[in-house]
Amino acid sequence: MLIKLVLLIFIVLSAPFYACADQINNIVLGVSNATSGPASQLGSKLNNGAIAFFNKLNRAGGIHGQSVELQLLDDSYEPYLTKKNTQSLLTKFNVFALFNYVGTPTSHSIYQQIIDQQIIYLTPFTGAQFLREPFANNIVHLRASYRREVEAHVKYLVEDKKIREIGIMVQADQFGAALEEEYIRALAAYGLSLVVNTRFRRNTLDVHWALTKLKKSNAQAIGFAGTYKPLASLINKATQQGFTPFFMSVSFVSSQDLFSRIQPSNKVFVSEVMPDPKTCRLAICDDFINDMDTLGIKSYGRIELEGYVNAYLFSQLASKCEAPLTKSCFLQQANQWHRQTLGKNKRFNELQDILNVNVELVSRSK
């Protein structure tokens, strides 16, 4: 009887240890992005795409036997919440890396911490240049930069449409500042400058004052930095008032979310840096559609695909390291990714060649 009691006590006391050991054997990625507020679609869709991939990966045994878990926190696209969430992810959850953060101002709020502490920052949903220059080997990108997107905007407007009166309306934060800098730079290459530069407050639909200023400028095209809701409000109000310039936005706005909120127009363009999964011919796009169906999600687009591809990229880099995965090995592989010398995996190189290069201007024509 005494022996049985001792064995029972041993089993009970051991249970938390085994649970903890299992948790240590998993790879935890920390995510802080917007799943509430005006930018909620962005974080939610990115998360769904990543979950679809990691669910399949974990069913197949994970990465050398290590499952990948996502620790998801909502920051409502507010930098102060991003900082708070990041601290929690690093201390409370001891994550391996930060993954799929959304936004320029949110990324800017933790940038110095990322650099100083050499925290791995994976596939942020932003094309801001400060995350690319100067180069930091602990920041891993897949998407194209805003510089390349804005260059595509200006090239189309100036060379194809012969437009020279170009202005901008941007968020009054680091995102807006980043786009302003890129527009000034891209226009200067054609000997042009902005005819109007106006701002609005992040996470609001307060575009009335900015619209009044844009109309007075007689700009023929407006570049935009913000989320889909204020841009939709701007376009709809401008159309009602008979002001119909070209409206150009970078991919952060999401063409799918924007076009569902405005009337069809051949003067509204969004530059996209991921293929449309409905027309994509890559093998990974077929996998994405099958895995989203398995997850029970029937409606999806480029943002979900980006979340999925980001997860795929992480798994490809991590799988080249022996278990247990270490940060030093992962960063070594990530550095090879940045140098575009990853190896002979055809699908991986195909992603590298296509997803990190192409910028496509899309519109919802009449």
Please, what are the domains in the chain?
A: 23-144+279-360 (3.40.50.2300), 146-272 (3.40.50.2300)
| CA separation for the pair 315, 319 (Å, rounded) | 6
> What pLDDT score does 23 carry?
38
Q: Quick one: pLDDT at residue 365?
A: 72
43-54 in b/e burial notation, b at 16+ Cβ within 10 A?
bbbbbbbbbbbb
pLDDT at res. 311: 96
- pLDDT value for 11: 34
Q: Which residues contact 263 (CB under 8 A, 6 or more apart)?
A: 236, 239
Backbone angles phi, psi at 269, to 5 degrees: -130, 145
CA distance 248 to 225: 9
Number of C-beta neighbours around residue 219 at 10 A? 23
DSSP string, 299-316: ---HHHHHHHHHHHHHHH
Q: Closest Cα partner for 222 from 249, 242, 185?
A: 249
What is the dihedral sign for C-alpha 363, 291, 100, 344? negative
User: Which residues of the chain are modeled with pLDDT < 70?
Assistant: 1-24, 340-357, 366
Task: Classify 117 as helix, strand or coil.
Answer: helix
- Evaluate if pTM is beyond 0.85: yes
The reply to whether omega before 134 is within 30° of 0 (cis) is yes
pLDDT at 38: 83
Strands (E) in the chain, as ranges, are 27-33, 68-74, 97-99, 121-122, 139-140, 166-171, 197-200, 221-225, 246-249, 265-272, 360-364
Report which of 330, 314, 321 is spatially closest to residue 50, judged by C-alpha positions. Answer: 314
What length does the chain have? Answer: 366
pLDDT tens digits, 237-274? 999 999 999 999 999 999 999 999 999 899 999 999 99
What DSSP designation does 322 have?
A: P
pLDDT at residue number 105: 96
Instruction: Report cis status (omega within 30 of 0) of the bond before 264.
Output: no
